[in-house]
Structure 1
């Protein structure tokens, strides 16, 4: 069976997180062929793959959003859409009711009428739709700014909808954003099943980014946020099944409009054997070493970790912090992190870049995760597999990983604090730093919790069952 895995801003260009999940999924199911449909930001990344592809990965289709700039239009056009097509675009923009993907397919797959998505934007029909949305919902904003915001917002999606779509037996998206809508479109065109595995909650992650951003100004932040929630609703509505990593995410998806009958839970899993040579924590001479396996990007909030480490060093002046993860993805944020290190006068802080974490984890006394959004972080599970306790923020399913669910009486594998609360984070770091037996006990609890419920074998067996249900239809 041929499975098209749709990714966005992750595999195969970024190491860790969702990308690691994709690689493990493909490797674990060699009986199936996989094809990657990847959406990236900039064409300069074309071919810059960070993974060695398994033999059953048969190809990658790369689409980059900055290639929109290469489009051209023949100029202003009048009355090129039917009334039903205008209504479909209106529903896409307004987001009030479930949208039938077939209506979008009828517009954007018609190459006879539209050679470029700009043909639609350069039409009186599009102007009329945007004016209608403006009058109904956004009349408090300057119309010219609103029009160009909507154009910037919609152009990437409409551009992607017009590109060639690969044929497959199953379409499997790793998010509900652009790649979710493209997966829905491909499944509609080829009459195949469409499933989603949502790691974090895509629309909420975009909301956090937009609120903190400089490129979206004032009241226009709300316009952008609503748009990404609209994409999520469209993806949920068209998917045959929606999988997530833990119960709380399933509840959020339901609150956002996903039919609860569609939702299933499949936890992440780790290769326990990869860390088999790393035993439980041992006492040692010398300074404490604190680790974080994390990409250096804003959503991971390394700055808060650095501020917490500053307070930690007041108790442990010789302590080390080792940040293990790539720092090329957002160079401006990496510079901010280095400036923060300098401003706080921190010593013994190392940014390693991408490394084999199994080689570094034996050096760590405990681990940190400071993110402001997560799903079910593989970094925590890998740390647990190496008997290392964690201090995490209360994001994704970190609470469940640290403290266990209602069926788990193992105890605490670390501590959880509120996102961005560097003082509370530092207090928990100090508590663990002062008590070796506590660290050892927590590390062993994390190991046992992972062994019971979060192994690679369980993860692969579940997706083998999911795909098997579609084999007869292929």
Structure 2
């Protein structure tokens, strides 16, 4: 099958880089062909050579320069007005999906980026905010009246998040009328037309790697071409956006508009996706709460290539805690520092090694933690050691006795898996997916409770046999859950399940049949098993003719008339199992020169007539 991987970031910046999740997925499924559609990649950026992660192509998102005029411009503005109205009026939220698809259809010829930043788009947003019933602020209480700067900022951010609508991946043809199963004009070609579809029209499955804007191309591919969509979220995009916009430097009307956009986009993505694969049962419950159908959600743990990494060696002589995570207010470093101060009352020589970096904007928090270290341990500079930037995590685990994860939002599942794979016992706060992933192989403590954290670490430091038992059990659990092979096997089955429910394209008479998800049909396998090892073709009389033989009519096997070959296939099927002729088109893969195959499609009516004449 041809899989279109949809990512929000550029390449190779995001998780699509060599060694990332996309790399593990493509290497684990070599039988499929993967193409990456990156929203952050521009045409001016030269792709790496050769393409990493076993990709066959990298599609940038830079739209063609164009300007909308006349009727397309009016259609686009009407769709944009309906989209903005669904974001600011609670009663109009149901119109988000139709407005999104109408806007995409109006801008398929190009010109949408300029329109979304034009004065007309600003007036649409300003009018929608001033309409009766519009909500300009999030939360309860009086609404904050939007200002001119809010209109400018919101329009620019909304145009940025809708950039997927302008990507050159959908073609410029208008959408066909009728249900999705009849929209296969883009997947077939008549004689003299271009040789096959381009962009997302040629994919068998769209796989969105993450939520948010990365889902938009998959939604449009399903709307335009009926291509099934699968969404993988190792961290919920909507949840992270909601947390991030709390501290964003925007006024409340802008934050309310953007959070509503992501909420409605997540709901539409979950509604249209054939399958959704969260990275934990914790995220699964969140997705169902946000509107996902429980029947479509399947938990697939993120595989890591470090599952076979050797465990950490002998413990250090000095009892040492290893803290990992981001150095930010929600990372829990302050709790770990205060917990160490409590622990040193019973283990005076205990130390803490800090491995992590301060994200952008969290420099003040790191300075606060440094001041706290000087306050808690004024005469003991060796009590807390900050690892150098770029230090290998496995080397840090090697120098520790117990691993500590004290964040208030829950550590990412893969970070928990890395800690468990080290073979050191884990003490983590009971938030997020920690209880599900660690299970009985570690100790869980309440968040922001330094005394409980110190008590758990003291219990492990006092019992060497317990540390070894929990460390080995955690390593085996992580190896079972986070190996690469189970994840690849799960997606192999999910791809087959998703594509099996896709309706087959029906080509007009005289047209070349559309490409299928699989390279060889069932008829080809049956014919190949009838005569080994020679390539075979069905003769007109119903027998199997080997390569080089001639049929009863005197022609070489496999290159006779279409009616003869098709009748031979029908006779063989009836002789073998007594099946009735199918109501679909009968196909035959006949032998041809090496690396060339000819497929002939004949209506069933012609088969019956020729069979009767024979």
TM range (shorter): 0.7 to 0.9
Matched, 1:237 2:266: no
Contact 2:113-2:163 at 8 Å conserved across structures:
no
1:216-263 per-residue CA deviation (whole Å, 9 max, x = no partner) reads 345764444333222211221222211112333222211111122221
For residue 429 of structure 1, the aligned residue among 439, 450, 457 is: 457
Matched, 1:344 2:376: no
Q: Which moved more, 1:260-269 or 1:96-105?
A: 96-105
Size of the aligned set, in residue pairs, is 451
For residue 288 of structure 1, the aligned residue among 320, 326, 331 is: 320
Contact 1:116-1:159 at 8 Å conserved across structures:
no
Over 3 Å counting, the alpha-carbon distance change for 1:426 and 1:94 in structure 2 is farther
* Residue matched to 2:27: 27
* Residue matched to 2:250: 216
* Residue matched to 2:487: 459
CA distance in 1: counterparts of 2:216 and 2:123, whole angstroms: 25
Contact 2:129-2:136 at 8 Å conserved across structures:
no
Which runs of 5 or more residues in structure 1 are unaligned? Answer: 404-411
* Residue matched to 1:247: 281
CA distance in 1: counterparts of 2:475 and 2:490, whole angstroms: 21
**Which secondary structure does the structure 1 equivalent of 2:431 belong to?**
coil
CA distance in 2: counterparts of 1:217 and 1:432, whole angstroms: 48
For residue 158 of structure 1, the aligned residue among 148, 155, 162 is: 162
Contact 1:384-1:450 at 8 Å conserved across structures:
yes
CA distance in 1: counterparts of 2:252 and 2:101, whole angstroms: 35
Q: Which has the higher contact order (CA 8 A, sep 6+)?
A: 1
Contact 2:354-2:387 at 8 Å conserved across structures:
yes
CA distance in 2: counterparts of 1:295 and 1:55, whole angstroms: 27
Q: Give runs of aligned pairs for residues 58-207 of structure 1, distance below 5 A.
A: 58-61=56-59, 81=76, 83=78, 86-92=81-87, 94=89, 96-97=93-94, 99-100=97-98, 101-111=100-110, 115-119=114-118, 122=121, 124-132=123-131, 135=134, 138=137, 140-144=143-147, 146-148=150-152, 150-165=154-169, 166-167=199-200, 168-207=203-242
Question: How far off is 1:399 after superposition?
Answer: 0.7
Contact 2:328-2:362 at 8 Å conserved across structures:
yes
**Which secondary structure does the structure 2 equivalent of 1:173 belong to?**
strand
CA distance in 2: counterparts of 1:114 and 1:381, whole angstroms: 42
* TM-score normalised over the length of structure 2: 0.62
Q: Which moved more, 1:435-444 or 1:350-359?
A: 350-359
Q: Which moved more, 1:1-10 or 1:254-263?
A: 1-10
CA distance in 1: counterparts of 2:335 and 2:11, whole angstroms: 27
* Residue matched to 1:398: 434
1:339-381 per-residue CA deviation (whole Å, 9 max, x = no partner) reads 5224422644233434543444333212222344458611222
Over 3 Å counting, the alpha-carbon distance change for 1:221 and 1:282 in structure 2 is same
Contact 2:146-2:253 at 8 Å conserved across structures:
no
Indicate the structure with greater helix content.
Answer: 1
Contact 1:17-1:378 at 8 Å conserved across structures:
no
CA distance in 2: counterparts of 1:24 and 1:376, whole angstroms: 18
Over 3 Å counting, the alpha-carbon distance change for 1:185 and 1:306 in structure 2 is farther
CA distance in 1: counterparts of 2:151 and 2:143, whole angstroms: 13
Question: How far off is 1:205 after superposition?
Answer: 1.8
* Residue matched to 1:380: 416
Over 3 Å counting, the alpha-carbon distance change for 1:217 and 1:146 in structure 2 is closer
CA distance in 2: counterparts of 1:84 and 1:444, whole angstroms: 58
For residue 403 of structure 2, the aligned residue among 355, 367, 376 is: 367
Over 3 Å counting, the alpha-carbon distance change for 1:164 and 1:299 in structure 2 is farther
Contact 1:18-1:199 at 8 Å conserved across structures:
no
Matched, 1:56 2:17: no
Over 3 Å counting, the alpha-carbon distance change for 1:425 and 1:216 in structure 2 is farther
CA distance in 1: counterparts of 2:66 and 2:424, whole angstroms: 51
* Residue matched to 1:409: none
